[in-house]
């Protein structure tokens, strides 16, 4: 069900009995041709409002009897006296006339029509004057408003060609009148019984003397008051349609040449004996007064069904002329109607309209699809102490609070979506505009939404083009899971510096129903990821979590009260390298003493190469990784984050992964872009004269890095750790190294003395030295992409050269001995 202005009006009309009350009103209509005579406005109050100026002998039997009964003209002056005292611009109403027909405040609506309010020689001149000269209109308006009782309001005023019309309403009727500007002049008008003398043409100042001028114009009923009801209009329209059909039928018959035969058939067959005599006129009752126009008799009360369906009753009470008004050659006419109708009470209608609107709204809501959303927070170990913050939504207006959110740790909340309407409901989360080059999403990138029975998140849905809409039958429900996971470094940087927040609004749209808005909120915990070396060296004790939020929720990064603190290198890097070093020793020891603990010697890049990891449980790895990062952020002890059951090999792999993540997230890198540009410029300028000695290479690199002490020390910390780890995982015994050196020196001497015997076969390389070289190379390749920052070339060949240069520098620092 859909509400509309039409349905509202129909429902309101059906309850019309609640806001309408029966009311009776009298309407007085006056018509007068003033013939542009001066002083005619002086008679307006007497005849039109007070009902005076009616001659008892000429007004008809009913009015004459009323005058005798009331005695309203007992002391009226004679016609001769009235005619004798007539003067211009003075009232001609007879003295002593108390008025007989209804007037004053008993009339609810006064309607006055005046003709020839100005004196002009031609119709063209009249039309021009009545629209340009406002004097006559103002004069008559003032005369009428002064004549009417106090409180009557001008409802309409219209100046037509030859007619000036005023409509005034009483204080009780005026507020109920509408459609004041509408007009409807059509055929079907009728007139009440004419029981008065002709109203034209009289000598000015005379009661019954018709035109005594040379023209000798005959008396005429040229002033008339016509009226009609809706019933009259419908009957007239029906008659017109019947006549039109008859004309068409006659035209067709004439065209066929059978019009005479049709006349004969009408004579022979149109006679109905049962109706014979029904249309004979009933002779009127004999009266003493003869009037050739008094053939209609008294007009009785007539019930009229209005267009809106109301049953109104209308009765013509009086229709007469005021013969004793002498100021014009026309006598004014007056007609009084009694109208019983159902009046609309505005206060009651407004009240009923409100009730109807509420009923329609309730019915529409019951017929529209609708859902109810309840938010239920899943409680993990860290949220057990936060039960007080658990909230439930009120039809989708509540807040889903994820509490404290940190990097890499998933947090979930559950929604129960139930169809609480009486019809089938289909809903879906609304897409939000995506950034340039990305698809639109229903949630920010740090949030995923799953529905019951589907493990597919938003990214999978987009890639597989699956349908997102869910349809529920009445009473059914579905569970939806909201999951927050911040694992994008760009997002971390924005959250750290306060340019982004974990706040959003999901829009759940119900087809043909209303939208539901689900507010999402979380508190971001500062992370050591996504920062620069310079920034990390000024982090106070307690880690980044010790940074204070800005006061009064001001935007921007948190406040660091320990700016005077300056570490030689980021403490996070130092902690990671120390743990990495100790875990390597532990792994090597376990592999030597415990069965089943082996080092993957077929993977020289282990534990930094992700392809070689043996700890395959991704969920467990992510949980341990989040715990290590939490320890770094809060300045905790990394070793305490591992459960006892986690092996040393698994611990080493996770720490190595966190180290790579930390280095990759640095905004400036261990070797910033400006320092790399200098190193690369030196390499290019040397050409083929590159240093071959490891110590010379190290000295050159450290000399360049000395321009930034914090980066220099951080780089040394990392490469020293990598060198020690490589030495532990791929050791070369000291005895073998010394023998290899002596053997090479002796072999070179023999080679020089026995050169005549030809080239000797190459010496057999020690497998341990080969493995060490492979480990060094693998470590350098892994860390080359995370240590250095700088512009990446577009061509593949240039990228390979760049990678080789970075790898050679790292490999020089990782090697333990020359040639290793």
Residue 89 confidence (pLDDT): 76
Q: How far from 411 is each of 381, 407, 597, CA to CA, in Å?
A: 11, 11, 35
Q: How far from 789 is each of 431, 714, 807, CA to CA, in Å?
A: 37, 15, 13
Q: Residue 498 is part of a domain; what is its CATH number?
A: 2.60.40.10
Q: How far apart are CA 162 and CA 183, in angstroms?
A: 17
Same-domain pairing of 35 and 128: yes
Same-domain pairing of 595 and 491: no
Same-domain pairing of 487 and 391: yes
Q: How far apart are CA 730 and CA 105, in angstroms?
A: 120
pTM exceeds 0.75, yes or no: no
Residue 615 confidence (pLDDT): 92
DSSP annotation of 266 reads: H
DSSP per-residue letters across 323-357: TT--SSSS--EEEEEEEEEEEE-HHHHHHHHHHHH
Token pair listed for 573: 């890097």
Alpha helices in 55-170 (DSSP H): 61-70, 79-84, 123-132, 135-147
Same-domain pairing of 691 and 779: yes
Q: How far from 34 is each of 37, 184, 210, 327, 784, CA to CA, in Å?
A: 6, 26, 16, 8, 112
Q: How far apart are CA 418 and CA 399, in angstroms?
A: 18
Token pair listed for 254: 């004439």
For the chain, the domain total comes to 3
Whether residue 607 has a cis bond before it, omega within 30° of 0 = yes
Strands (E), 229-298: none
| Nearest C-alpha neighbor of 781 from the set 818, 724, 726, 731 | 726
DSSP annotation of 47 reads: I
Q: How far apart are CA 740 and CA 731, in angstroms?
A: 15
Domain boundary, last residue among 462, 496, 525 = 525
Q: Helix, strand, or coil here: 261?
A: helix
Burial of 112 (0-12, 13-18, 19+ CB in 10 A): buried
Give the side-chain half-sphere CA count within 13 A for 376: 10
Token pair listed for 257: 């040449």
Residue 273 in any domain: the answer is no
| Nearest C-alpha neighbor of 48 from the set 318, 338, 294 | 318
Same-domain pairing of 668 and 783: yes
Q: How far from 815 is each of 601, 695, 718, 720, CA to CA, in Å?
A: 18, 10, 13, 10
Same-domain pairing of 325 and 461: no
Rounded (5°) CA angle 630-631-633: 65
Beta bridge partners of 337: 27, 316
Neighbours of 585 (CB within 10 A): 13
Alpha-carbon dihedral 5, 10, 11, 17, rounded to 10 degrees:
130
| First-to-final CA distance of the chain | 84
Domain boundary, last residue among 325, 344, 363 = 344
Residue 722 confidence (pLDDT): 95
Token pair listed for 28: 């007085």
Are 669 and 701 in contact by the 8 Å Cβ rule? The answer is no
Same-domain pairing of 808 and 676: yes
Residue 808 in any domain: the answer is yes
Q: How far apart are CA 600 and CA 581, in angstroms?
A: 18
Q: How far apart are CA 408 and CA 385, in angstroms?
A: 21
Q: How far from 666 is each of 153, 327, 563, CA to CA, in Å?
A: 84, 109, 19
Q: How far apart are CA 163 and CA 161, in angstroms?
A: 6
Q: Residue 722 is part of a domain; what is its CATH number?
A: 1.10.555.10
Are 537 and 680 in contact by the 8 Å Cβ rule? The answer is no
Q: How far apart are CA 722 and CA 153, in angstroms?
A: 102
Same-domain pairing of 323 and 400: no
Q: Helix, strand, or coil here: 442?
A: coil
Alpha helices in 667-766 (DSSP H): 673-686, 694-705, 709-729, 734-753
Residue 159 in any domain: the answer is yes
Contacts of 253 (CB under 8 A, 6+ apart): 259, 262
Question: C-alpha 612: how far from its chain's center?
Answer: 55
**Tens of pLDDT along 401-447?**
999 999 999 999 998 999 998 889 999 888 877 666 667 778 888 99
Residue 678 in any domain: the answer is yes
Same-domain pairing of 478 and 577: no
Q: How far apart are CA 618 and CA 624, in angstroms?
A: 10
Q: Which helix (H) or strand (E) holds 626?
A: helix 618-633
Beta bridge partners of 484: 411, 447
Q: Helix, strand, or coil here: 439?
A: coil
Q: Residue 44 is part of a domain; what is its CATH number?
A: 3.60.10.10
Q: Which residues of the chain have pLDDT under 50?
A: 1, 121-123, 126, 182-185, 261-262, 264-271, 276-297, 380-382, 384, 386-397, 454, 464-466, 735, 737-758, 817-820
Token pair listed for 31: 């018509």
Burial of 540 (0-12, 13-18, 19+ CB in 10 A): middle
Residue 786 confidence (pLDDT): 94
Are 191 and 316 in contact by the 8 Å Cβ rule? The answer is no
Contacts of 293 (CB under 8 A, 6+ apart): 193, 194, 195, 221
Same-domain pairing of 506 and 605: no
Beta bridge partners of 113: 31, 165
Token pair listed for 446: 């740090």
Q: Helix, strand, or coil here: 480?
A: strand
Token pair listed for 805: 């240069």
Give the side-chain half-sphere CA count within 13 A for 110: 30
Residue 8 in any domain: the answer is no
Are 448 and 520 in contact by the 8 Å Cβ rule? The answer is no
Cα Rg of the chain, angstroms: 55
Are 156 and 178 in contact by the 8 Å Cβ rule? The answer is no
Q: Phi and psi for 614 in degrees, rounded to 5?
A: -100, -20
Same-domain pairing of 201 and 52: yes
Residue 552 in any domain: the answer is no
* Residue pointed to by tokens 């007139």: 191
Helices 571-593 and 648-665: angle between axes, nearest 10 degrees: 150
Domain extent at residue 30: 20-177+189-227+294-344
Residue 378 confidence (pLDDT): 54
Q: How far from 634 is each of 75, 376, 541, 569, 655, CA to CA, in Å?
A: 116, 30, 9, 17, 17
Residue 741 in any domain: the answer is no
Neighbours of 544 (CB within 10 A): 23
Neighbours of 269 (CB within 10 A): 8
**Tens of pLDDT along 354-374?**
999 888 888 877 788 889 998
Same-domain pairing of 336 and 414: no
DSSP annotation of 276 reads: T
Residue 553 in any domain: the answer is no
């Amino acid at each position: 069900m859909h509400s509309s202005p039409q349905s509202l009006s129909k429902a309101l009309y059906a309850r019309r009995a609640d806001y309408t009350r029966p009311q009776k009103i009298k309407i007085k209509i006056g018509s007068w041709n003033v013939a542009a005579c001066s002083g005619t406005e002086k008679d307006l109050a007497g005849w039109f409002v007070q009902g005076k100026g009616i001659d008892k002998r000429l007004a008809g039997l009913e009015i004459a009897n009323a005058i005798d009964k009331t005695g309203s003209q007992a002391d009226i002056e004679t016609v001769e006296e009235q005619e004798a005292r007539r003067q211009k611009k003075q009232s001609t109403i007879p003295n002593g006339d108390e008025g007989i027909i209804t007037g004053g405040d008993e009339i609810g609506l006064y309607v006055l029509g005046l003709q020839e309010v100005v004196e002009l020689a031609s119709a063209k001149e009249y039309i021009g004057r009545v629209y340009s000269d406002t004097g006559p209109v103002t004069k008559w308006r003032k005369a009428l408003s002064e004549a009417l009782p106090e409180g009557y309001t001008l409802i309409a005023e219209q100046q037509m060609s030859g007619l000036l019309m005023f409509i005034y309403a009483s204080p009780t009727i005026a507020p109920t009148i509408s459609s004041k500007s509408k007009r409807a002049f059509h055929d079907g008008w009728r007139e009440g019984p004419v029981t008065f003398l002709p109203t034209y043409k009289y000598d000015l100042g005379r009661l019954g003397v018709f035109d005594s001028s040379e023209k000798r114009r005959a008396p005429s009923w040229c002033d008339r008051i016509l009226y009609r009801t809706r019933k009259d209009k419908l009957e007239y329209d029906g008659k017109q349609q019947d006549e039109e059909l008859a004309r068409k039928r006659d035209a067709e018959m004439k065209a066929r040449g059978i019009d005479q035969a049709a006349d004969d058939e009408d004579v022979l067959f149109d006679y109905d004996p049962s109706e014979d005599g029904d249309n004979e006129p009933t002779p009127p009752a004999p009266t003493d007064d003869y009037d050739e126009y008094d053939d209609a008799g008294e007009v009785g009360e007539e019930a009229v069904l209005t267009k809106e369906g109301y049953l109104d009753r209308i009765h013509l009470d009086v229709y007469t002329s005021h013969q004793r008004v002498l100021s014009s050659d026309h006598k004014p006419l007056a007609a009084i109607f009694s109208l019983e109708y159902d009046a609309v009470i505005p206060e009651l209608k407004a009240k009923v309209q409100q009730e109807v609107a509420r009923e329609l709204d309730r019915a529409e809501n019951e017929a529209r699809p609708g859902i109810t959303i309840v938010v239920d927070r899943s409680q993990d170990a860290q949220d057990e102490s936060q039960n007080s913050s658990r909230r439930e939504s009120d039809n989708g207006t509540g807040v889903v609070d994820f509490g404290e959110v940190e990097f890499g740790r998933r947090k979930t909340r559950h929604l129960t979506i139930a169809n609480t309407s009486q019809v089938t409901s289909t809903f879906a989360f609304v897409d939000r505009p995506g950034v340039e080059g990305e698809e639109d999403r229903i949630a920010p990138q740090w949030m995923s939404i799953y529905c019951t029975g589907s493990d597919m998140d938003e990214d999978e849905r987009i890639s597989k083009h699956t349908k997102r809409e869910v349809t529920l039958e009445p009473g059914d429900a579905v569970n939806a899971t909201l999951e927050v996971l911040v694992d994008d470094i760009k997002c971390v940087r924005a959250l750290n510096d306060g340019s982004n927040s974990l706040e959003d609004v999901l829009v759940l749209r119900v087809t043909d129903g209303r939208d539901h808005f689900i507010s999402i909120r979380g508190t971001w915990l500062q992370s050591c990821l996504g920062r620069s070396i310079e920034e990390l060296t000024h982090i106070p004790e307690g880690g980044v979590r010790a940074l204070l939020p800005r006061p009064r929720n001001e935007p921007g990064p948190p406040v660091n009260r320990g700016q005077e603190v300056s570490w030689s290198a980021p403490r996070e890097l130092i902690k990671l390298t120390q743990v990495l070093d100790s875990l390597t020793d532990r792994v090597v020891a376990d592999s030597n003493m415990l069965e089943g603990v082996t080092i993957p010697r077929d993977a020289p890049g282990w534990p930094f190469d992700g392809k070689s990891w043996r700890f395959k449980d991704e969920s467990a790895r992510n949980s341990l990784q989040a715990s290590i990062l939490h320890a770094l952020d809060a300045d905790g002890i990394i070793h305490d984050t591992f459960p006892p059951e986690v092996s040393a090999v698994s611990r080493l792999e996770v720490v190595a992964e966190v180290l790579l993540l930390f280095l990759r997230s640095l905004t400036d890198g261990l070797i910033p872009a400006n320092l790399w540009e200098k190193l690369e410029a030196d390499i290019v300028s040397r050409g083929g004269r590159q240093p071959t000695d490891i110590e010379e290479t190290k000295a050159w690199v450290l000399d360049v890095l000395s321009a930034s002490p914090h980066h220099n020390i951080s780089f040394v910390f990392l490469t020293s750790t990598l060198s020690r780890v490589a030495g532990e995982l791929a050791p070369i015994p000291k005895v073998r190294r010394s023998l290899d050196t002596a053997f090479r020196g002796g072999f070179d001497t023999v080679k020089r003395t026995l050169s005549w015997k030809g080239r000797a076969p190459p010496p057999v390389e020690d497998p341990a030295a080969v493995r060490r070289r492979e480990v060094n190379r693998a470590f350098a390749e892994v860390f080359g992409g995370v240590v250095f920052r700088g512009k990446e070339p577009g061509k593949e060949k240039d990228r390979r050269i760049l990678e080789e240069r970075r790898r050679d520098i790292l490999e020089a620092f990782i090697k333990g001995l020359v040639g290793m």
